[in-house]
Structure 1
Amino acid sequence: MIKNISISTFVNIIFSLAFLSIFITFAMFLNYDQQKHEVSLQNRYELIAENFLSTFQNQPTAESLITLFKKFKVKPIEERERKLEIIKNAQELTITQNYLGTYRVYKYDDNYFIYVQQHGYNLMLKDADAHNYSIAFIIAGFIISILTFLILYEILKRKLKPLKLLNKQLIEFSNGNKDIKLNYTSSDEVGTIAKSFNEAISIINNQSKSKDLFMRNMMHELKTPITKAMFIAETLESEKTRETLQRAFKRMDDIIKELATVEKLTSKNTMIYKEKKSFSSIFNRTVEIMMVNHDHIVVEFTDFDFDVDNSMMPIALKNLIDNAVKFSPNKKAIIKANEEKIEIISLGEQLKHELSYYTEAFSQEEKRSDGFGLGLYIVKTIVNLHGFKLEYKYESGRNYFIINMKSSTKSIKESKENLITTKALN
């Protein structure tokens, strides 16, 4: 799951967790500090109360009491009404009774009072020292921590911002914009990546231009002599020699055509022009360009309309049918089609590898020496350009090559119930 998260999202998650951790840490510290403050006050008032109770046992003088008042920074409350007001309205924090006597601690109007009682003595003391709990320093520390945290977050976001731009430009390059250049002059790691990628783009563009120039020149230079050779072969008297040469030159011409198709399909400027066509019209166009005899084809489909490139799809179907007939023991192929899928079916052995092996350029079975290894590569490329999916299955001694159009044909409403005559495989 983490592998699929973008760096920006990952940074946001980490900083969110860090922010939450800071908040929880300060909340726990605040709670701990308040408890510590309360314990400290409790110890102080316990000490004050026990000192006064001990002094009361020895019948203290006014001077000794004044000394204690100054020592513990407390003031006696003399007025009876004031004492009653405090006892009646104050919050009683604690009450303790021991062998020396009894004392209570009150909180009233943010002031603390100690009420000490012993036989013959009844004294209420006000804590003159400021012991109110203040969270100002903690809040200040929290604010400083958050500000520092946010500044670091913003710095990191600014540092990662060029990566977003770099990713956007890389996507543009992958979509065919070969003239793109990454304008990032920093000397950090991102700058090094941008510089290296600019160099890679330059190398790729040079190689692509060289490849295109080579392919065009090669096909142009070979096309003319092959055409002339085929014309000369027609003049030969020996029928066997003439047919042998014509097959050889036809094969060379087919190779050039397939290479031209591959060059066109692999070009980033390749576009398909979809228009609503009936399957029967696409199939008729396929029959026109096929290399095999029409007697080897068995058709079984309900005609329908679908969005398709009128020049590309017949090439894909032609390659599938040619392969089916060529590698089938009875040299026949069945074509089944409906709005959801097109199936090319033939007798034969199951493929030794996964379909993906054969859809790579120049891939073929070891025993199939008469193929170029480009047929299924061309088929898959055309099928993918249409948004369809090429699939394969093997059932009951038959190979099924399927163009799955489910995702693209849901909106098709029109259908012609014109069933083409069905033949059976021998």
Structure 2
Amino acid sequence: MRKHAVLITVLFALTVTLFSVSAVFWEFYKLNKNQYIEHIFTKHEIITQIYREHLQKKTSQIMLEANLAVYKFVIEKDKHEQKAILKKAKTLKQKNLQRVDEAVMLNKKGIFTQKIVRDVRISMLELNKTIYFYIEGPIGSVLIEDEGLKPFTYYSIAYSYLTIILIISISFVLILQRLKPLIRLRRKIALFGNGDMNISFKTSGSDEIALVSNELEYTREKINTLLEARTLFLRNIMHELKTPIAKGTIATQMLGTQKERDRFSSIFGRLESLVEDFALIEEVTSISDKSNFNEYRLVDIIDGAIDMAMVDRKCVTVDVDAGVKLRANYRLYTTAIKNMIDNGIKYSTDSHVKIVMKNDELCFESRGECIAHPLQYYIEPFTKDNPAKNSFGLGLYLVDSILKVHDRVLAHEYENGVNRFIFA
């Protein structure tokens, strides 16, 4: 998810924006509809007045229909149709009114006028895009159709809503289009980080992403230049060192005593070993392409490492399934295992190392005291516990560097008097 944080943020903003706009337009639609209904309901109070006059003056049905027709109101006379409309229609608004009638009464005291309050309920109904007004009184009811009135429509609001949604969507599409170069740039940076030193970041354009890409291209060229200069320097140094070391080794044989010959042979041998370690370091750090990695059986690599270490095979116990394979640079992986064998034999109490597979991880076990420092201390170059040992302190540093090239790490644990180094 972190890899697509910007894209997710943009999509989240789009979702929130669309939801907010939709919510606002929905509330606006409901408000407009309610205002429309209220306006129509108020405007059509004339129906109530006509019906009141009809009841008070007790005019004929024909007179009532004539008065309603002036305003394009029609009474629904069919009782079955009226029942069907009342059953199916949607009630838009309803209001209770009171009608006051005056009646002439006679009692012992004489003639007097009495006011009678009657309840009247008027309902505004909608069915099949037709508006009806239903009036219920104490002595009857009437259903009136408004032929000149149309129900509330949402087309103008829907048009505005769709227009705004379209504008927002187009805007976000344009934003995503502008983010495409950033996605391509991220992929190129990942390839560069994985060792593709010839990837090009150069791009045309003048926006911020193009400026960053071109700056990365300039940085890439500088890094490549520095790496090439470093590689050339190391190779020249090693080439120049090999010649005097070879001459010194030959000259050593001309010394007078065996003790002097052995001492100088040891010195030149260590120098030659140091040059070889430097060559390995240069090879490991300069690997940018893993296409030359091949699949090998692990037992074959271990056999090659034992031969390279030139130790008695009785000093090494191998408990690895012959079917286990891995993809690796044979020379480098063999060197890493060889260094672990050398360390195991050199620092163990019984000059023995056991190579086993545990949980799909290659382990090197040897008896002895636990290492005095954390593992990180030993994988730094030129560090070692015992300066008197015949070593430059590059063994575990080389192992760690080789494992990193193979997407692995070096780990250590101590259990029951056994140091266990793990290719995890």
Structure 2 stretches lacking a partner, 5+ long: 101-117
- RMSD (Å), alpha carbons: 3.9
Which residue does 1:75 correspond to in 2?
A: 72
CA distance change for structure 1 residues 104 and 200 in 2, over 3 Å: closer, same or farther?
same
The answer to whether the aligner puts 1:255 opposite 2:274 as a matched pair is: yes
CA distance change for structure 1 residues 363 and 61 in 2, over 3 Å: closer, same or farther?
farther
The CA deviation at 1:255 is 1.0
TM alignment of 1:29-178, pairs within 5 A: 29-45=28-44, 47-49=45-47, 51-52=49-50, 59=57, 74-77=71-74, 82=77, 84=79, 87-91=82-86, 93=91, 94=94, 96=96, 98-100=98-100, 101=118, 102-105=120-123, 106-107=125-126, 110-114=129-133, 126-127=145-146, 130-178=149-197
CA distance in 2, matches of 1:112, 1:388: 78
CA distance change for structure 1 residues 14 and 115 in 2, over 3 Å: closer, same or farther?
closer
Does the CA-based 8 Å contact 1:391-1:401 persist in structure 2? yes
CA distance in 1, matches of 2:16, 2:174: 18
Does the CA-based 8 Å contact 1:74-1:125 persist in structure 2? no
Percentage of pairs with the same residue: 23
TM alignment of 1:146-295, pairs within 5 A: 146-267=165-286, 268-269=288-289, 272-277=292-297, 279=299, 281-290=300-309, 294=312
Letter in 2 for 1:15: L
CA distance change for structure 1 residues 352 and 157 in 2, over 3 Å: closer, same or farther?
farther
CA distance change for structure 1 residues 273 and 197 in 2, over 3 Å: closer, same or farther?
closer
**TM-score computed with the length of structure 2 as normaliser:** 0.76
Letter in 2 for 1:322: D
CA distance in 2, matches of 1:125, 1:354: 95
Letter in 2 for 1:403: F
Which residue does 2:345 correspond to in 1?
A: 325
The CA deviation at 1:322 is 1.8
SS in 1 for 2:200: coil
CA distance in 1, matches of 2:34, 2:333: 80
CA distance change for structure 1 residues 31 and 121 in 2, over 3 Å: closer, same or farther?
closer
SS in 2 for 1:304: coil
The CA deviation at 1:86 is 6.1
CA distance change for structure 1 residues 56 and 296 in 2, over 3 Å: closer, same or farther?
same
Does the CA-based 8 Å contact 1:363-1:374 persist in structure 2? yes
Does the CA-based 8 Å contact 1:114-1:124 persist in structure 2? yes
The CA deviation at 1:118 is 6.8
Query: Among 297, 301, 304, which residue is 2:315 paired with?
Result: 297
CA distance in 1, matches of 2:74, 2:317: 113
**TM-score computed with the length of structure 1 as normaliser:** 0.76
Does the CA-based 8 Å contact 1:355-1:392 persist in structure 2? yes
Letter in 1 for 2:14: F
Moved over 6 A (4+): 117-124
Query: Among 294, 297, 307, which residue is 2:325 paired with?
Result: 307
CA distance in 2, matches of 1:315, 1:121: 107
The answer to whether the aligner puts 1:394 opposite 2:406 as a matched pair is: no
Higher relative contact order (CA 8 A, sep 6+): 1
CA distance change for structure 1 residues 75 and 266 in 2, over 3 Å: closer, same or farther?
same
- Bigger mean CA deviation after superposition, 119-128 or 215-224: 119-128
CA distance change for structure 1 residues 154 and 368 in 2, over 3 Å: closer, same or farther?
farther
Q: Summarize deviations over 1:204-251 as a string: whole Å, max 9, x none.
A: 011011011001100000001011111111221233332222222111
CA distance change for structure 1 residues 402 and 117 in 2, over 3 Å: closer, same or farther?
closer
CA distance change for structure 1 residues 313 and 180 in 2, over 3 Å: closer, same or farther?
closer
Q: Summarize deviations over 1:248-272 as a string: whole Å, max 9, x none.
A: 2111111110111111112214655
Q: Summarize deviations over 1:298-354 as a string: whole Å, max 9, x none.
A: 4253672543554333311211122223334x3623223359454322334434554
CA distance in 1, matches of 2:355, 2:158: 76
CA distance change for structure 1 residues 201 and 37 in 2, over 3 Å: closer, same or farther?
same
